[in-house]
């Protein structure tokens, strides 16, 4: 039964440890086959496709079933704990990136570079504690409101990936929602509908960051890529199962990002640094960092476009970047 094997494979990808994974899959397979036999005996005929999908759906989403074999959680139940982990990881990475940028500015502008590392550690520690507290609170409240029941009703067995699919081939719903929300915020900021404080530091050491005039020539290309990224996230949310549509959309997106990144390399300056604490060294360091970032984004985007193109053509992926089940 292909559907059962796809279902068990989806569960196996989220269970740590090869021995535990094999034991759990064997136990679940026996339980599922036993339920199928009982249902078929009661009906006096083999189950139809829709009846089999209904049985698998009632058994529970793969993420939820796998979470039952994770270490015991106290504040958050197994039904939404996997989503909690994914969302917490995404928010923590964003917070960490912000702290690194702030640290880099402080390192370049501070009179005593030896103080930069302790400030980074304090900032990262405080930011991660804040992220953990707020995300945990949101999910605890969500569980008490019955969010896990809604998640269990919406999943579809027909959207399960192939058995041979590796973990990481497609993004989870919370990651997609987070990226979509981030994309909306970026579009609103880029079009000037919302503003953010661009002053860093305080007193005599404050630094004001502004986009250089060179960005005017890239207003529409940047906006187009932002809208395209949002559309791709919405497509993947609407069609969670991997298919040629999502793969083709991702190819176009990654190639667009790569082309835009290469075009941005022609700019002399990306940001203008002003304020009482501004120095030529700070401006040069920030612009050099952004220049290197454009190169890295272009390379990664080309590689990602190639991976999605191979998937669309049903060709094997290169070993580089693939993740094993272990």
Q: State the DSSP code for 158.
A: G
Take residue 194 and report the two structure tokens written for it.
Answer: 């919302």
In whole angstroms, what is the distance from residue 257 CA to residue 251 CA? 10
Return all residues near 100 (Cβ < 8 A) that are at least 6 apart.
120
- Over the range 228-261, which residues count as b (16 or more CB within 10 Å of their CB) and which as e? bbbebbebbeeebebeeebbebbbebbbbbbebb
Side by side, which strands form the sheet with 207-211? 199-200, 207-211, 271-274
In whole angstroms, what is the distance from residue 103 CA to residue 79 CA? 38
Give me the pLDDT at residue 110, please.
Answer: 55
Residue 12's H or E segment, with its range, is: helix 2-12
Give me the pLDDT at residue 93, please.
Answer: 73
Give me the pLDDT at residue 224, please.
Answer: 94
Give me the pLDDT at residue 171, please.
Answer: 60
Q: What is the pLDDT of residues 260-296, one digit of tens each?
A: 999 999 998 998 988 776 778 878 888 888 888 889 8
Q: Whose CA is closest to 102, among 289, 265, 300?
A: 289
Is pTM beyond 0.85? Reply is: no
Question: What region does 209 belong to: left with phi over 0, alpha with psi -120 to 50, or beta?
Answer: beta
Whole-number CA gyration radius for the chain: 24
Give me the pLDDT at residue 228, please.
Answer: 93
Give me the pLDDT at residue 289, please.
Answer: 83
Q: Whose CA is closest to 83, among 4, 142, 130, 25?
A: 142
* Length of the chain, in residues: 326
In whole angstroms, what is the distance from residue 120 CA to residue 99 CA? 7
pLDDT tens, per residue, the chain with 326 residues? 788 888 888 888 777 666 778 888 888 889 888 988 988 888 888 888 888 888 888 888 887 788 777 655 455 666 666 677 777 777 777 777 666 666 666 655 555 555 555 666 666 777 778 877 877 777 777 766 655 555 555 556 665 666 654 444 456 666 677 777 788 888 888 998 887 666 665 555 677 888 999 999 999 999 999 999 988 888 777 765 556 777 888 899 999 999 999 999 999 899 898 877 677 887 888 888 888 888 989 998 999 888 888 877 764 444 444 333 33
In whole angstroms, what is the distance from residue 145 CA to residue 259 CA? 45
Q: Whose CA is closest to 3, among 142, 126, 157, 166?
A: 157
Q: What is the pLDDT of residues 21-75, one digit of tens each?
A: 888 888 888 988 898 898 888 888 888 888 888 888 888 888 778 877 765 545 5
DSSP string, 94-155: HHHHHHHHHHHHHHHH-S-GGGHHHHHHHHHHHHHHHHHHHHHHHHHHHHHTTHHHHHHHH-
3-state secondary structure of 211: strand
CB-based contact 290:298 (threshold 8 Å): no
């Amino acid at each position: 039964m292909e559907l059962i094997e796809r279902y068990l494979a989806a569960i196996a990808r989220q269970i740590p440890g090869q021995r535990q994974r094999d034991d759990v899959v064997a136990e679940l397979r026996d339980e599922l086959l036993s339920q199928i036999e009982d249902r078929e005996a009661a009906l006096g005929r083999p189950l139809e496709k829709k009846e089999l999908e209904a049985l698998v759906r009632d058994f529970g989403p793969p993420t939820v079933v796998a979470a039952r074999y994770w270490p015991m959680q106290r504040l958050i139940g197994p039904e939404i704990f996997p989503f909690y982990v994914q969302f917490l990881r995404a928010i923590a990475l964003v917070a960490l990136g912000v702290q690194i940028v702030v640290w880099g500015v402080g390192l370049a502008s501070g009179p005593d570079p030896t103080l930069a590392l302790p400030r980074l550690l304090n900032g990262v520690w405080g930011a991660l504690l804040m992220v953990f507290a707020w995300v945990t609170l949101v999910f605890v409240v969500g569980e008490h409101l019955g969010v896990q029941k809604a998640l269990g009703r919406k999943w579809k067995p027909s959207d399960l990936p192939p058995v041979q699919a590796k973990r990481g081939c497609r993004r989870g719903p919370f990651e997609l929602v987070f990226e979509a929300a981030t994309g909306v915020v970026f579009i609103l900021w880029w079009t000037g509908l919302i503003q953010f404080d661009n002053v860093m530091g305080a007193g005599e050491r404050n630094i004001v960051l502004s986009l250089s005039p060179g960005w005017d020539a890239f207003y529409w290309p940047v906006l187009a890529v932002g809208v395209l990224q949002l559309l791709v996230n919405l497509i993947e949310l609407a069609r969670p199962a991997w298919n040629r549509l999502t793969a083709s959309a991702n190819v176009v997106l990654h190639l667009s990002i790569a082309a835009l990144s290469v075009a941005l390399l022609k700019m002399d300056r990306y940001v203008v640094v002003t304020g009482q604490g501004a120095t030529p060294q700070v401006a040069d360091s920030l612009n050099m960092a952004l220049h290197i970032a454009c190169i890295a984004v272009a390379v990664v985007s080309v590689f990602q476009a190639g991976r999605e193109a191979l998937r669309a053509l049903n060709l094997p992926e290169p070993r580089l970047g693939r993740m094993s089940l272990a």
